[in-house]
Amino acid sequence: MRVDFIWIENYKSFKKRQKLELLSSIAVIIGKNESGKSNLIDVLGDMSLFNGFSESTYTKTPLDSLELDLNVVVECSFSETEINMLNLSNEDKKVRFSFSKTYEPYKVKFLDGVIKYFEADSFQRHFHFLLEIINDKKSKITTQSNRQTVDSRLEFISNITKYMIPKYKEHFKTIKNNITKLLSNEQKEEYIKSEQFIIEYIEKFYNILPRFYKYNEMKIKNQYNLNKEFYEQKGEDYKFLDKLMRVIGCDMNDLKNACSSSVHQGINQDAREKIEQGVENIIQDGFNEFYKQEENFIVKPNFNTNKFSMLIKTSGTYLNYSERSQGLQWYLNLYINILANNLTEENVVFLFDEPGVYLHVEAQKKLLELFENLTKTKNQIIYTTHSPFMLNEYHLNEIRAIHKNSEGYSKVVNSVLSDKMSGTSKKETLSPLFKALGMKLEHNIGMAPNQLNVITEGYTDAIYLNELAGFLEYKNIKFIPSIGASQMENIISIFLGWGLQYKALFDDDDEGRKEKNRLLKKFFKNPNSEEAIQFSNTHICMVSDAFKSIENYEEDKDYSIESLISEADYIKVNAKFNEEEIVKSDELKKIFCIDLVRKVKSKEITLSDETIRNFKCLFDLFLKDAEFGILETY
């Protein structure tokens, strides 16, 4: 199950309802200091689809609206595998969870989607059978306190199709212990059979729910002093080592024996070997797969009387933890946190507030690769940053911005290419991104002096082309998104001024043809002059140009980027999508684009020969007159 959207209202600086889109696996949150980025991470970090929010979070409403209640809605979608497992239809793919204090004693309410799951005949039959028996027999329970207990537990169970019930197994067990005493053997057998069916049915759904996890760094120390106070006070160091020992299949008693001079030598040696084996098998081997560096990572536990440390070696000699690079320290801390919190096999939404802020540039770039690897399965990542090196310029669709409005409340902008952030600089293509980061134009990370820059009408076009260029192993093309065909002239002016190679790609539709002609009229007194024609041939492409060498080119047809995708591939991504519907809606274009890219990258689908041919024709057209000459591949 993936999280697609989150709505937040009445939390700290988020007063009016704000919508955060998470249609891609990674969401990067940018914005100035005090804009509300950390508030977003905090509220999501305290959120559980099982248990709702802690009581303290409900008290953190805007200062001028203390009487208002925190309200959060999370919309998720089932994968095709999950839809089949739960016997749902594609119409029931979406499920929304609502969080509000008004639901007490419940924390999380189902709004739609999963309700259909609990309406299934098989579940309803067993569920109503159980409820009938419980309601019939509970009055015969002799002890008043037990009757009251059953009544209170029954109220929770009765609402299991409407609300999340975290302790549902405990509720069923308590009721069963009281009710089955009053049943015949035959009734008892039927009761237990139905109860087991219901528990397994609920568990099947609960097990696929995503877990939100806010990363709080637990720093490894060079050395731990395992003195009397360490064991008695059980402070942060104790808690960390306790988690570490449990991760590697040991416990604190093993650590105590390994670092003690007062126990039998055999016990001491056995404990040391047990810890060494666990560190090697779980920490060392797992981290080498997680970190994926050319150098082999070796970690060695070091035991002394009442002292414990871990020495690390990648090449040369063993060194203390603090003597290793900050990058390796950060990655190792994250890896141990993941293990300690049982996050290796779960469907997790990782939350990071300014990750790797002290890392050097190369380590930050490596962190982006690590995040990509974390999301190759079911995981998603949301992180805030001020660093331009923590942004992937090829994935502008992943970047969200938060800024304060005139009233001082946080607002979420789900596209950094939107004009919602900066009306005064609307014509500057990437100005919202630079404004959010506090960057100057000369730090622009988008343009490539040694590549062919292709300007597209919008960022979904740039996403399609960038991902397909990588997939088809085309090199030396950089895709620069505009915020509409009418704004492309501004980017072209910058490329002209900087003397960079570029081409402008227009859809061959009414808008695209109109903007191409307007562009030529602006740059040339006579748009039909030889100079204008030469400029057009060199620097302007229409999507239809890719089809002109193909036998099924239709002269009177409109062509967009979506035209490059075959009908068969539309069906593979989502049977509801087709080119005609998608080009009418920017929202649908975005959703389909991200879905297609995700499924191609994860190898969930294989693109048809027709789609591959169409994109290759377009890329070959781009590179035809490029100064760096022949096509290069990765």
What is the mean pLDDT of each successive set of 10 residues along the chain, which is 634 residues long? 93 92 89 88 93 89 78 91 88 90 90 83 94 92 91 92 92 93 92 95 93 85 90 88 90 92 85 93 86 76 91 84 81 86 84 86 83 86 86 75 86 71 38 43 54 86 88 87 83 78 90 90 82 88 86 82 90 81 77 82 87 92 67 34
Q: Which domain-ending residue is among 287, 322, 346?
A: 346
Verify that 128 and 230 share a domain, yes or no. no
Verify that 188 and 55 share a domain, yes or no. no
**Structural domain contains residue 354:** no
Verify that 64 and 139 share a domain, yes or no. no
**Structural domain contains residue 355:** no
**What dihedral do alpha carbons 589, 595, 599, 604 form, nearest 10°?**
-110
Verify that 395 and 490 share a domain, yes or no. no
**Structural domain contains residue 375:** yes
The confidence score (pLDDT) of residue 317 equals 84
Q: Which CATH number does the domain housing residue 20 bear?
A: 3.40.50.300
- The C-alpha atoms of residue 537 and residue 132 are separated, in whole angstroms, by 78
Verify that 258 and 199 share a domain, yes or no. no
**Structural domain contains residue 323:** yes
- The C-alpha atoms of residue 286 and residue 336 are separated, in whole angstroms, by 10
Q: Which domain-ending residue is among 151, 184, 207?
A: 207
The confidence score (pLDDT) of residue 293 equals 65
Verify that 561 and 496 share a domain, yes or no. yes
- The C-alpha atoms of residue 383 and residue 39 are separated, in whole angstroms, by 12
Verify that 466 and 420 share a domain, yes or no. no
Largest CA distance in the chain: 101
Verify that 461 and 563 share a domain, yes or no. yes
Verify that 463 and 585 share a domain, yes or no. yes
For the chain, how many residues are written?
A: 634
**Structural domain contains residue 629:** no
**Structural domain contains residue 214:** no
Verify that 365 and 342 share a domain, yes or no. no
- The C-alpha atoms of residue 619 and residue 628 are separated, in whole angstroms, by 14
Q: Which domain-ending residue is among 294, 323, 346?
A: 346
Verify that 479 and 607 share a domain, yes or no. yes
Domain of residue 405: give its range.
1-84+91-106+360-429
Q: Which residues contact 284 (CB under 8 A, 6 or more apart)?
A: 297, 298, 299
Looking at the structure of the chain, the number of domains it has is 4
The confidence score (pLDDT) of residue 308 equals 92
Verify that 337 and 226 share a domain, yes or no. yes
**Structural domain contains residue 373:** yes
Residue of 86, 91, 96 whose CA lies nearest to 118: 86
**What dihedral do alpha carbons 544, 547, 553, 556 form, nearest 10°?**
0
- In whole angstroms, how far apart are CA 186 and each of 133, 183, 190, 259, 327? 13, 8, 6, 58, 64
**Structural domain contains residue 215:** no
By CB neighbour count within 10 A (0-12 exposed, 13-18 middle, 19+ buried), where does 28 fall? Answer: buried
Residue linked to tokens 């150098």 = 295
